[in-house]
Amino acid sequence: MTTSQGLFKASDGTSLFFEVQGEGKPLVFCYGLTCRRDHWRHQIAYFAKNYQIITFDYRGHHNSSRPLNDQHLTLDWCANDLVDLFNHLRIQEAVVLGHSLGVSILSKFVPKLQERIKAAVFICGSVTNPFENMFHSNRMSRVHSLTTMINNQAPTLMSFLWQKFTERNRLSFLMTSRLGFNASKAEEQDVLNYMDGVNRTPFPIFYSLISDYAQFDGRPLLKRIECPTLVLAGEEDHITPYALQEEIAELLPMGQLIKISGGSHNAHMDFPDKVNHSIDSFLADVGFK
């Protein structure tokens, strides 16, 4: 399988990393906040046999640089980065896939480049303030407010607390595997990879993007997405509950909803075979084979 890596410049000069694997029609993958490209490892292994797989790191994440202006750590800038990636790689037609935060970014991106998007796949994402429904209540909004207060008064302390709270240990593994995954189905390596991605992301990057996300309402944008869109929803998703996925599918002009029974917020890792086969069938239905 052919693999190439490189960097491209965003419109504000930020240097962004991308990787291309395999050959064929392009599938562009957008992971969740603080995640890593190997968050898609089950999908990459499956689809790279017949497609060209394109992954990249968001600004401030991993192999991509942090923008000089922290005001550029927003969903809008991430969506613009996707436009720059398409232009850099000269992608004329692709299917885009997003998980979690990647769904909100795609909701901003697809209307910008509608003529070059054959279809989209939304996995366990939301296009409204994630704190309003997380764990089926709005309690996390208070946590975000407290975090904002501490960060405003003592940013160095907040960054230290972030590093300590997100480091690998038995308690954090237990919490992550139970709240973000189906603990009985997910592979240990997937949970650990997710934890490492969070821990390696500087707190200011996380905070800027999640704060922008908390002010976002992408429901009007969904109505402007003209391509077929598959919504894959985890039945047991406590981060973006199933009802939010139903609303997204209803607002999309060409939305199709599939429930992943027993699936968590990371349903594509809990049940990769089910998710991959659902995506594969969808690609066949839209004529992207």
Q: In the prediction, which pLDDT does 49 show? A: 95
The span from the CA of 240 to the CA of 262, in Å, is 14
Instruction: List beta partners, residue 3.
Output: 21
Closest CA to 33 of 261, 214, 283, 256: 214
What does the angle CA 193 – CA 106 – CA 74 come to, to the nearest 5 degrees?
Answer: 80
Confidence of residue 37 (pLDDT cuts 50, 70, 90): very high
Angstrom CA distances, 159 to 58, 148, 199, 263, stand at: 20, 12, 11, 32
Least confident residue range of 108-112, 170-174, 242-246 = 170-174
pLDDT digits 0-9 by tens, 113-145: 999 999 999 999 999 999 999 988 888 888 888
Q: Where are the alpha helices (DSSP H) in the chain?
A: 41-47, 75-89, 101-109, 139-153, 155-166, 170-179, 188-200, 203-213, 219-222, 242-251, 267-270, 272-285
pTM summary value: 0.96
Full DSSP string of 39-59: GGHHHHHHHTTTSEEEEEPPT
Query: What is the arithmetic mean of pLDDT over 96-116?
Result: 97
Q: Over pLDDT 70: what percentage of the chain?
A: 100
3-285 is classed in which CATH architecture? 3-Layer(aba) Sandwich (3.40)
